[in-house]
Amino acid sequence: MELVEVALPTRLVVGPTRVFPLHHSRTTLTRGLEPGEELVVLDSDGEYHAAVVVDLDFMADDTVYVLQTGVRLPEEIALARLEAADGVRPGDVDGVVDLIGEMLRRGRRSEDHDGR
């Protein structure tokens, strides 16, 4: 799992859509990210967030990842995710945090659908 630092404040990282673009050239990543890949985002306010790559866009001189943030992560959970060699294990606190994030996303989708 990768850590990506962004120059955005928390309010923009977790804005209304929780989706934002990330230019590969503005990261310290040593490899490209893949759709569906999970990562940890550290925003400019020092807050950690779970995130996933939902789309890619290729430009002539850069790759732009479209990230969707999940729940805010306490520092100890964020660091544990980054240190885990094999990702989230069933029954782990990490799994519970991810489940809460998924429930929030589903709730938002439901609200969006009902509001149309």
* Amino acid letter, 42: L
Contact (Cβ atoms closer than 8 angstroms) between residue 66 and residue 24 = no
Domains and CATH numbers, the chain: 2-114 (2.40.240.20)
pLDDT of 77 > 60? The answer is: yes
Per-residue model confidence (pLDDT) at position 85 = 43
Among 86, 81, 17, 93, smallest CA distance to 49 is for 81
pTM: 0.72
Mean pLDDT across the chain? 85
Mean pLDDT of the region 66-82: 91
